[in-house]
Structure 1
């Protein structure tokens, strides 16, 4: 159940960012497209991102991990190409989108886990 809730929270974050961030648009049925974007983003983060991280490890080390922002943006641009109702205008917009999405997810997940206190 936690996976479905996290997926819905990510879809909500995608919807909010597409509404407020210029250069990111959801078209068509925006709620369904936001859920599809969250699902495809999760699948790509599981399957493609580890491969990209391993292949770009030397440049990631040289840039002290900042190249991971570019990898996240490339994943966002790949989602843009795979889904018709989701568009990102540029690489810089994708980088900003990925940073803001991570921040929003962290906030929402921390609010979700606030009820769970250790004994």
Structure 2
């Protein structure tokens, strides 16, 4: 019984986190001119694809770029996120980014907006 409740809670947190990503992508698309979505379905698909790409490629990219991460005190992570956004934009129809600089700014804003929304939705989970 308790195992079932934990599973439901994990699924609920997963969907809340995914919803936060969707909202963050929507807000970033409104704030940055070079961050384009054709419709809501493309935001939805981009959020799925970005989650998959983050889970599969990000740990490897962080490991490979560890010297840059150490020298820049982690700021290079935004460059990695921008590269992952470009990969997602290449594969998801209806999502495009005008330039790599736009992707870096978008990466920064996505992180910031997701963090702020997470503070509101999960006040005990997020620590500053």
TM normalised by structure 1 equals 0.88
Q: For residue 12 of structure 1, what is the aligned residue in structure 2?
A: 23
Tell me the CA shift for residue 115 of structure 1: 7.6
Structure 1's consecutive aligned runs of 4 or more residues displaced over 3 angstroms after TM superposition are none
Could you tell me how far apart the structure 2 residues matched to 1:9 and 1:81 are? 22
Could you tell me how far apart the structure 1 residues matched to 2:28 and 2:76 are? 22
Question: Which ranges of structure 2 fall in alignment gaps of 5 or more residues?
Answer: 1-11
Could you tell me how far apart the structure 1 residues matched to 2:54 and 2:15 are? 16
Could you tell me how far apart the structure 2 residues matched to 1:56 and 1:20 are? 29
Q: For residue 86 of structure 1, what is the aligned residue in structure 2?
A: 95
Tell me the CA shift for residue 6 of structure 1: 1.2
1:25 and 1:87 in contact (8 A); partners too: yes
Q: For residue 47 of structure 2, what is the aligned residue in structure 1?
A: 38
**Aligned in 2, Cα 1:112/1:67: closer, same or farther, shift over 3 Å?**
same
**1:103 and 2:124 aligned:** no
CA RMSD of aligned residues (A): 1.5
1:7 and 1:35 in contact (8 A); partners too: no
